[in-house]
Structure 1
Amino acid sequence: MCLNKKCQDFGRKNVGNIIKKGFNAKGNQMFKCKTCGVRFPETKGTVFYNRHLTEEQIIMICKLLVEKNGIRAIERIMEIHRDTVSSLVDDLARHAREVTDFLISNVGLTKVEVDEMWSFVKKKKRKLPEEARKQMDRATAGYT
């Protein structure tokens, strides 16, 4: 689906307007919308978009959150600045449903482990925007 909000096919899935269009410098598949002409990487709209962290590092941070490690502990373990970890936790909250599905199906975490991770995120990030809290509530509702 096209992620350009100005496109007439924005958010519409399986319309046939998205085609593959090469790879970017990081090796991610690029796509192009035939309707509006905008190119975007496969990671656009996900927690992996525009990150200097690898997918493995992001998965490891999720696993460390499941084990109830704090942000500063993750900073020390992963040797990543705490602001980067906090920013990732915020993005995880915004993409809660997709992250939950990914962790259960691709990483092999159990529903209980993912629920523990979201409990930690909620506890540590009480100042999350209302939108992020709603996304987290929707994501965990089907898995508890």
Structure 2
Amino acid sequence: MREADPKKQMCLNEKCKDFGRKNTGNIIKKGFNAKGNQMFKCKTCGVRFPETKGTVFYNRHLTEDQIIMICKLLVEKNGIRAIERIMEIHRDTVSSVVEDLARHAKEVTDFLISNVGLTKVEVDEMWSFVKKTKRSCRRRRGSR
């Protein structure tokens, strides 16, 4: 993923007094999980969490590379079904990734520009597609 820095992490336990606060010194590295993601621990409340918690990569069976490829295919104006065929991933999984991308828009935008090398224009095009797709996903769900 990216360099795991405890200073950039924050406790995601809503009951913790340091919830949502970065760079307070309460987060420490605490080993790795089965997927190889860096684990962190909040010294205040004792909760452990992976580096992917609170991101589009959290709790996914897809690899980081697959999620990045979905982003790149969205930038190229491929639809959900086209991405399904290209990557051989079920369209519901692709739709779920698109919905998570929309929920994590700012973090995803920063990641795509700094780590993937997309331009701001390409990312804007991707978000335009996500917005259009999200609207049509809602209509399909409501019609069932």
Q: TM-score band (shorter)?
A: 0.7 to 0.9
CA RMSD of the aligned region, Å?
6.2
CA pair 116-141 structure 1, distance change in 2 beyond 3 A: farther
- Listed one character per residue, the Cα deviations across residues 78-127 of structure 1 (whole Å, up to 9, x for unaligned) are 0000000000000000000000000001000011000000000111111x
CA pair 139-37 structure 1, distance change in 2 beyond 3 A: farther
Which structure is higher in RCO with an 8 Å CA cutoff and minimum separation 6?
1
Give the 4+ runs in structure 1 shifted more than 4 A.
138-144
TM-score (normalizing by structure 2): 0.87
CA distance in 2 between partners of 1:32 and 1:91 (Å): 25
CA distance in 2 between partners of 1:78 and 1:72 (Å): 10
- The 8 Å contact of residues 28 and 43 in structure 1, kept in 2 or not, is answered as yes
The answer on 1:61 being equivalent to 2:74 is no
CA pair 61-20 structure 1, distance change in 2 beyond 3 A: same
CA shift for structure 1 position 139 = 24
TM-score (normalizing by structure 1): 0.87
Structure 1 gaps, min length 5: 127-137
CA pair 82-143 structure 1, distance change in 2 beyond 3 A: closer
Structure 2 gaps, min length 5: 1-9
CA pair 47-125 structure 1, distance change in 2 beyond 3 A: same
> Secondary structure of 2:98's partner?
helix
CA pair 14-52 structure 1, distance change in 2 beyond 3 A: same
- Listed one character per residue, the Cα deviations across residues 15-41 of structure 1 (whole Å, up to 9, x for unaligned) are 110011000000000000011000000
> Secondary structure of 2:62's partner?
coil
CA pair 40-3 structure 1, distance change in 2 beyond 3 A: same
- Listed one character per residue, the Cα deviations across residues 1-20 of structure 1 (whole Å, up to 9, x for unaligned) are 10111111000111110011
> Secondary structure of 1:119's partner?
helix
CA pair 95-82 structure 1, distance change in 2 beyond 3 A: same
> Secondary structure of 1:125's partner?
helix
CA shift for structure 1 position 140 = 26
CA shift for structure 1 position 143 = 35
- Listed one character per residue, the Cα deviations across residues 42-101 of structure 1 (whole Å, up to 9, x for unaligned) are 000000000000000000000000000000000000000000000000000000000000
**Percent identical:** 90
CA distance in 1 between partners of 2:22 and 2:33 (Å): 23
CA distance in 2 between partners of 1:139 and 1:15 (Å): 44
